[in-house]
Structure 1
Amino acid sequence: MVDRDAHQIVVFDRNRQVVSRLGQRHQPGNPFNHPSCVAIALDGDIFVADGYGGTVVHRFSSSGEPICTWGRRGTAAGDFLLPHAICVMKKGSVVVADRENNRVQKFDFSGALQAVWTGFFRPTAIWADRDDRLYVTDQVPSLTVLDADGNFLSRCRPVLNGAHGICGDEDRGYIYLAEINPS
C-alpha cells in the first residue's frame, strides 16, 4: 500500500498485519517523495511510481532491497512529469501512466524505454490483465484498452468524473474503477 504523505510503501500480510515498510516515515527523499503507486511483479519484485515529488520509478527485490531507479523530471521520452500509476505486465515489462505528460510509457525491468503511447488526457490509473491487455483511465474521463504492443482496442466512458484507480477480477470478468468526486 502507498502511504503518500508518510513517504512509504507499507506491506501487509493476509491478516492485515504490517510485515515491512519501504522508505523512512515522514522523511521525503529517503527514498520516496510522495509516492503515487506500487506494483508487484510475478517474481515478487516491487516497483514504485514515486510520482508526486520524486518523478522516478524505483525497483526493489521482494525482500525490499533496492535494485535500480530510473527516470527524471522532463518531457523527453523516458522522462516523467508525474508517474502517477504503474503496473507490471506478465511478460516482464513495466508500464507507467505519466499523467502530466499525457502519455503511457513502457519499460523493461531495468528501466530501458520500450515504447511511448500518447492520445490520453492526464492518464491516472493502469492495469494489465492476464493477456497483457492494458486498461488505462484518464481525465477525459475515459477507459482505453490497448493490446500488449500499445495498439488501440477500444475506448468507453464508464464514469462521469474520472476514474482514479483500476483493477480487475478476471475470474468474474469484472473491472473495478475508483472514481473521484462521483456525482
Structure 2
Amino acid sequence: MKRRTFINNISKASLGVVAVPHFNILKSKPKMYNTIIGHGDFKYKVHKSWGDLDRTVTPVKNCHEMVMDSKGRLIMVGDDVHNNVLIYDKSGKLLDSWGIRYKGGHGLSLWNDGSDDFLFICDTKGSVIKTTTDGRELMLIGHPSEYGAYEKDAVFKPTESAVGPNGDIYIADGYGSNYILQFTKDGEFIRKIGEGRGTGENQFQTAHGVCIDYRGKGDPTLLITSRAANCFKRFTLDGKFIEQINLPGAFVCRPVIHNKNLYSGVCWSSEIDYVEGDKNTHPYNINPKSGFVTILDEKGKVISNPGGTQPKYRNGKLQRMVQEQPIFNHCHDVCVDDDENLYVCQWNANKAYPIKLERV
C-alpha cells in the first residue's frame, strides 16, 4: 500500500480527531504546525521551519519564487542582496547561494535547452537576466525603449518570465505597464501582448505572472495572471485572447503547471471586490496576511485550497475563496517537486524562509 493511501485511510478512520498545533517556545525557532491542510486528494502536512537558515549568514527579506532544476535541487530567488539566490536540497539543507545585485529580485523561471538548465531572473528595478544555475550572467534585457517597445518614460518593472517551445522569452511587466513582452531567444523584440492595464478582455490588472501551458490537445498557450482581477487569462503564443479563468476572492500570483494541474500562491484574499483605482478596496488595506495556495485541475476547476476555504461551485460558478487557516501571510509562489510536495515562498512575511507542504 502506498504511503499516501495509507495515511488517507487512517484519516478516514479517525474522523473528528483534530491535530493540535505545536508551538516551540524558543524565539530562535519559528512555529511548527503539525496539522493537515487542503481538500479532497490534495492534502498536505505543514513543515513551517523546513527552509530555516542562519540569518546572520544567509538572510532573506522576501522569498519571492522557487523552481526545481533537473538535478532535483530547489532554487529560490529573493531581494536580499547578501544572497539573492538560495539553493536547497529536498531536506531543506542549503547547497549554495549567490547573487548580490538584484535589489528587486522577484521572478524566477527555469529553462532547459535540451542539455543544460538556465535561469531567468526578473528584477523589478528594470531588467531580466539569463544566468547559469551557478550565477554566471549570459544575457540581460533592459528597458523596452531600447528595443522600440516603450517610450523612454514608460514604467518597466518586470515580475515574471516564461520561455516558449522555440526559445522565445515572454516577460510580464506586472508592476509596470502591464504588457507581456515577447522576445526571441537571442533577445530581439517581437511584440507586445495585451493592451496594458485595465479591465478589458485584452488588459490586465497586475500582470504578475506568465507561464506556458502544454496541457491538453493543440498548441501550447500562455497563461497570464491578472491578480487584482482575481483571474488567469489564456492567450495564444502570438497574443490572441482565448479565455478567462475566474478565481473570486483570490489575488493569485503566477500560474505553475505540474503534470495535469495548475498551482498558484494567493497573495491576499478578500470578501469584497477590488475596484480599479480605489486603494480602499485593495485587500492589503482591508485584509492583509490572508494568503493561501490554490490548485486547479486541467479543466480550470479549483480542487483544493491549502490554507483557504474549501472550493464550492453553485450552478457551475465558483464561489468566493478566502483564507481559512492563519498559516500563511502572503503566498507569493509555490514550487512542486517530483513527489508532489509543495514549497511555498512568501512576501512580506516577517522575513520567513520557504515552507514545505508534504503531500499526504
Q: TM-score, normalised by structure 2?
A: 0.46
Shift of the 94–32 alpha-carbon distance from structure 1 to 2, 3 Å rule, reads: farther
Structure whose residues are more often strand by fraction? 1
Instruction: Measure how far apart 1:102 and its partner are.
Output: 1.7
Q: Percent identity?
A: 23
Q: Which amino acid aligns with 1:172?
A: D
Aligned pairs (5 A) from 1:136-155: 136-138=264-266, 139-140=268-269, 141-155=291-305
Gaps of 5+ in 1: none
Q: Please list, as runs of the form range in 1=range in 2, the aligned pairs for 1:60-139 lying within 5 A after superposition.
A: 60-71=183-194, 72-91=196-215, 92-120=220-248, 121-131=250-260, 133-138=261-266, 139=268
1:16 to partner: Cα distance: 1.4
Q: Is the 8 A contact 2:130 2:138 kept in 1?
A: yes
Change (3 A) 1:66 1:119: same
- Shift in Å, 1:2: 0.5
Contact kept? 1:90, 1:130, Cα under 8 Å: no
Query: CA–CA distance in 2 between the matches of 1:32 and 1:60?
Result: 18
Structure 1 pair 113–59 and aligned structure 2 pair: CA distance change class (3 A): same
Please tell me the root mean square deviation across aligned C-alpha atoms, in Å.
Answer: 2.5
Report 1 or 2 for greater relative contact order, CA contacts < 8 Å, sequence distance ≥ 6.
2
Query: Structure 2: which 5+ runs fail to align?
Result: 1-120, 270-290, 309-326, 351-360
Equivalent pairs, count: 180
How many Å separate the matches in 2 of 1:127 and 1:11?
20
Aligned to 1:17: 136
Using the TM superposition, give the Cα deviation of residue 144 of structure 1 relative to its aligned residue in structure 2, in angstroms.
1.6
Task: Provide Cα deviations, 1:52-95, integer angstroms capped at 9, x if missing partner.
Answer: 11111111121212222111221022211210111111241111
Moved more, 150-159 or 7-16: 150-159
- Alpha-carbon distance between aligned partners in 2 of 1:89 and 1:32, rounded to the nearest angstrom: 28
Which has the higher mean CA deviation after the structures are superposed, 137-146 or 97-106?
137-146
Q: Report SS of the residue matched to 1:100.
A: helix
Larger radius of gyration: 2
Q: Distance in 2 between matches of 1:177 and 1:50?
A: 23
Aligned mates of 2:174, 2:347 — CA distance in 1: 18
Structure 1 residue 32, shift from structure 2 partner: 6.8
Report how far residue 35 of structure 1 moved.
0.9
In structure 2, what is the Cα distance between the partners aligned to 1:21 and 1:32?
A: 18
Counterpart residue identity of residue 57, structure 1: I
CA contact (8 A) 2:143 2:156 kept: no
Residues 11 and 142 of structure 1: CA distance in aligned 2, closer, same or farther (over 3 Å) = same
In 2, distance between residues paired with 1:43 and 1:177? 30
TM-score, normalised to structure 1, is 0.86
Q: Secondary structure at the match of 2:177?
A: coil
Cα distance in structure 2, aligned partners of 1:65 and 1:32: 20
